[in-house]
């Protein structure tokens, strides 16, 4: 899911981290340029306005309808046409949940396949969102974020092209060089990704929708540029933009279906409304919808890897089928999983995502980070962590969840750990933090910690012997966890979970310079 771009380091700290040496064109300068762009949150908030009065001439549907023509205009201003995008072949991924995992799996499989074949020089581009620590995470080649110098150069190349287009349209020099002549953040990064891939000869691309599909910035891709589409798990999200039912949201997600191309999704036998929408949209678009059956996935079983959770085998299955379609390794649909080449399965087991099943060693602490934020993913975290816990060992928990019921998710974690380890005292200390990185300055309003207090109360009831803290910023939460670990002695284990925003904040505190 696309969200507003996270806060960046201060200009002074960014300059210290820069690796580009051209005066005024450093990596730090590139980050400053990006920070000037309208955030995606500001754009999505346009849909939160009260309904327009009858006869006003303003309909919120117009905001969606204008999206693709606007994006095509920005693409042309940057010097590209939709036909230029046909020089690449894209696996286009939409969905409410699981998009990132499908993209990570597809990237790993394609990268491993090319490295083991005669075209070992072929490269795989990936465009995903949002990022946890650095915007460079969004644009990767062969699974690696762009280096700072390449990212910075690309930002200024696209920025200059858009500025020049504005000057040709008669815009004053000052306005043309500024953010007013640029698209909002997600659109700019989308164009930036294509610019990088085309400039560097990338031909295989895995691309994730930001929000929806039909009107998403990535959906200017013509059918000739798409090898396969995927609609991952669906749910309620971005109601103002996409609708208030899963069926309405499914309509938007299926917008990535393309004429003459295959689209892969999980067959939901218990949700005929969703499947009816997806099938109707496939017929409307002239696409072939391939419905992956749960029994086939269960029989196949998936591949164990760093991205944990029993649900991941469904994301793996969608990725495998899309990659086989992309590579032309076709077979009968029922055999696509069963007869998958070994080299592709090896890649599947190598897929990684920052903040998902990630371990970071730091001084007296081994940090276990996973942005699990629903019951299924929390179950996966518990299975992963239970393998790491020694008999009688006590862990430190850092937890938050701002968008869902924090107490319900916390109880899910406690019960899941108890089911696997046979005891409820796994966490000796629990720190409930907001997602804000820094403590509020003097004179600023302190962060609301009512959610954290609710979680703390739940923890005291469920685990009376656990020492509980509420903290209003991530920086202090990390410092407190380190202090507790030091006092206990030895290498202590800390689980950070419940929210991708929290995990991203902790990573930024732990690695202030490494992924700017």
DSSP 222: -
H/E stretch holding 308: none
Contacts of 429 (CB under 8 A, 6+ apart): 394, 396, 397, 466, 467, 468, 469, 481, 484
472 is in an annotated binding site: no
- Sheet bearing 492-497, strands edge to edge: 358-362, 365-370, 492-497, 395-399, 427-433, 467-471
DSSP 153: H
Nearest to 207 by CA among 343, 364, 88, 81: 88
370 is in an annotated binding site: yes
Residues 437 and 502: their CA atoms lie apart, in Å, by: 9
Q: Which residues pair with 360 in a beta bridge?
A: 367
101 is in an annotated binding site: no
Residues 109 and 94: their CA atoms lie apart, in Å, by: 19
Distances (CA, A) of 54 to 58, 96, 240, 244, 389: 9, 32, 19, 22, 62
The pairs formed by 409-414 with CB atoms below 8 angstroms and a separation of 24 or more are 409/373, 409/374, 409/375, 409/378, 409/498, 410/455, 410/458, 410/459, 410/462, 410/498, 411/458, 411/462, 412/375, 412/378, 412/379, 413/378, 413/381, 413/382, 413/497, 413/498, 414/459, 414/462, 414/463
Number of neighbours of residue 336 by Cβ within 10 angstroms? 23
Residues 123 and 143: their CA atoms lie apart, in Å, by: 10
Say if residues 358 and 372 touch (Cβ distance below 8 Å): no
Q: Find where tokens 């730090």 sit.
A: 28
238 is in an annotated binding site: yes
208 is in an annotated binding site: yes
Say if residues 191 and 74 touch (Cβ distance below 8 Å): yes
Q: Find where tokens 């990573």 sit.
A: 507
- The binding site for Mg(2+) comprises 129, 208, 238
- The binding site for ATP comprises 356, 370
- The binding site comprises 129, 208, 238, 356, 370
């Amino acid at each position: 899911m696309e969200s507003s771009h996270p806060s960046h380091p201060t200009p002074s700290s960014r300059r210290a981290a820069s690796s580009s040496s051209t005066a005024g064109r450093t990596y730090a300068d590139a980050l400053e340029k990006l920070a000037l762009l309208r955030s995606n949150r500001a754009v999505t908030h346009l849909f939160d306005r009260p309904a327009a009065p009858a006869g006003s001439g303003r309909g919120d549907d117009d905001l969606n309808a204008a999206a693709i023509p606007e994006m095509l205009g920005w693409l042309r201003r940057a010097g590209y046409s939709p036909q230029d995008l046909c020089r690449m072949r894209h696996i286009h991924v939409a969905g409410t949940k699981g998009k990132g995992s499908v993209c990570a799996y597809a990237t790993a499989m394609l990268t491993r396949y090319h490295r083991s074949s005669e075209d070992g020089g072929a490269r795989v581009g990936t465009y995903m969102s949002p990022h946890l620590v650095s915007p460079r995470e969004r644009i990767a080649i062969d699974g690696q974020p762009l280096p700072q110098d390449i990212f910075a150069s690309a930002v200024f190349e696209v920025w200059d092209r858009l500025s020049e287009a504005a000057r040709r349209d008669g815009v004053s020099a000052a306005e043309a060089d500024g953010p007013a002549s640029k698209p909002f953040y997600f659109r700019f990064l989308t164009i930036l990704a294509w610019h990088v891939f085309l400039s560097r000869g990338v031909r295989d691309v895995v691309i994730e929708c930001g929000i929806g599909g039909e009107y998403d910035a990535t959906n200017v891709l013509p059918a000739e540029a798409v090898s396969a589409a995927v609609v991952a798990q669906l749910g309620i999200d971005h109601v103002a933009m996409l609708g208030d039912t899963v069926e309405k949201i499914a309509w938007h997600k299926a917008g990535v279906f393309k004429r003459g191309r295959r689209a892969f999704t999980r067959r939901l036998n218990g949700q005929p409304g969703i499947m009816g929408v997806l099938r109707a949209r496939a017929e409307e678009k002239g696409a072939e919808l391939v419905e992956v059956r749960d029994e086939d996935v269960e029989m196949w079983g998936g591949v164990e890897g760093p991205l944990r959770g029993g649900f991941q085998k469904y994301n793996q299955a969608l990725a495998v089928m899309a990659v086989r379609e992309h590579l032309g390794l076709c077979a009968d649909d029922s055999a696509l999983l069963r007869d998958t080449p070994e080299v592709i399965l090896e890649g599947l087991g190598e897929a990684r995502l920052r903040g998902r099943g990630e371990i970071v060693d730091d001084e007296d602490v081994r940090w276990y980070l996973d942005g699990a934020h629903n019951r299924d993913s929390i179950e996966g975290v518990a299975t992963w962590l239970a393998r790491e816990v020694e008999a009688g060992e006590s862990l430190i928990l850092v937890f938050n969840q701002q968008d869902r019921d924090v107490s319900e998710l916390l109880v899910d974690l406690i019960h899941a750990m108890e089911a696997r380890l046979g005891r409820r005292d796994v966490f000796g200390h629990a720190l409930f933090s907001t997602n804000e990185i820094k403590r509020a300055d003097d004179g600023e309003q302190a962060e609301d910690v009512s959610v954290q207090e609710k979680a703390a109360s739940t923890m005291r009831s469920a685990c009376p012997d656990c020492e509980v803290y509420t903290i209003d910023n991530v920086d202090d939460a990390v410092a407190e966890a380190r202090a507790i670990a030091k006092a206990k002695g030895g290498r202590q284990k800390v689980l950070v979970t419940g929210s991708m925003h929290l995990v991203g904040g902790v990573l930024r505190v732990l690695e202030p310079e490494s992924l700017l």
